[in-house]
Amino acid sequence: SCCSTASTEWRYTYPLLEDAGLETWAVDILGWGFSNLETRPPCDIVSKREHLYQFWRSYIKRPMVLVGPSLGAAVAIDFAVNYPEAVSKLIFIGASVYAEGTKDMTRMPKFVPYAGVFVLKSLPLRLFATRLAFYKIPDGLFDWVQIGRLHCLLPWWEDATVNFMITGGYNVINQIKQVKQKCLVLWGEDDGIISNKQAYRLQQELPSAILRQVGQCGHIPHVEKPREAAKHVLDFLEGDSLDKADQASSLSSTLVST
């Protein structure tokens, strides 16, 4: 399964995984992507974890390969440590797992986090972040910005994001060494958002992990170099001689700020 800003992030790599014979799911984590949050449910870490677990229990029902890009890697680690029976293997892409969350924001006036998310969805910041995410600036850059920003315009997005921020966000640093599953750490060699040093650190701290890098590629290999990203995923799975029943792959979502 894969975690992304929204499931649309997987529109290039998703078909390649399906063509290879994998059962593949693209899931928006609660509060991110295009989740329907009209009732404004809590969107803290526990709620996100439980939402993904209930989805897995309802639709997948067997151990899955869980893929998390950027902050989605923190989602995947938190989920795998709490529900190890649901995860057979883990794949991290440009993993953002060494941040210490958003700290305690409960005493701040509400306008502070709301001001932050207003900036977060602004066109100038989204344009800057999109340029930074790619090694080579893509054709139609503004279209990429607009697509990546769509979910931020939903009427409940600001409330959901503020709820996530004031409840502390993800801090999985102490959970990394608890991961028991085999892992693939996939990184763009020219990642301008998360340092390659963190790729080596993560590979060393995970009990069982291999590191693969994609040349001339930025923070989102599954968008910028989908064929190479898919090949690394497939090589990782085939390297363990998995039978098709164990090759279920689900895609979930990352934090909006990535």
* 151 is known as an active-site residue: no
Q: Give the pLDDT of residue 111.
A: 63
Q: Which of 35, 191, 252, 257 is catalytic?
A: 191
Amino acid type, 66: L
Q: Which of 51, 219, 222, 232 is catalytic?
A: 219
Q: Give the pLDDT of residue 106.
A: 61
Residue 251 near residue 67, CB atoms below 8 Å? yes
Q: Give the pLDDT of residue 242.
A: 46
* 222 is known as an active-site residue: no
Shortest CA distance to 75 belongs to which of 199, 251, 211, 233? 251
Locus of tokens 């990782």: 236
Q: Pairing between strand 249-251 and 209-214? A: unpaired
What pTM value is reported for the model? Answer: 0.86
Shortest CA distance to 186 belongs to which of 214, 205, 217? 214
Tokens of 201: 């650190």
Tell me the CA distances in angstroms from 32 to 169, 181, 222, 258, one per residue in order.
Answer: 13, 26, 19, 11
What string of pLDDT tens digits covers the 258 residues of the chain? Answer: 333 445 778 888 989 998 998 888 888 899 988 888 999 999 999 999 999 999 999 999 999 999 999 999 999 999 999 999 999 999 999 999 998 877 666 667 776 778 888 888 888 888 888 888 899 888 878 787 887 888 888 999 999 988 998 888 899 999 999 999 999 999 999 999 999 899 999 999 999 999 999 999 999 999 999 999 999 999 999 876 444 444 444 443 322 222
pLDDT digits (tens, 9 = 90+) for 135-181: 988 887 878 788 788 888 899 999 998 899 888 889 999 999 999 99
Tell me the CA distances in angstroms from 217 to 105, 150, 152, one per residue in order.
Answer: 35, 24, 26
* 253 is known as an active-site residue: no
Domain 2-103+169-256 has CATH 3.90.550.10: no
Tokens of 101: 């969350």
What is the residue extent of each domain of the chain?
2-103+169-256
Please tell me the distance from the alpha carbon of residue 75 to that of residue 67, in angstroms, as a whole number.
Answer: 10
Q: Give the pLDDT of residue 178.
A: 97
Report the residue count for the chain: 258
As a whole number of Å, the CA-based R_g of the chain is: 17
Please list the alpha-helical segments (H only) found in 95-225: 111-120, 123-133, 141-149, 157-166, 196-205, 221-224
Q: Which of 1, 35, 47, 70 is catalytic?
A: 70
Please tell me the distance from the alpha carbon of residue 23 to that of residue 25, in angstroms, as a whole number.
Answer: 7
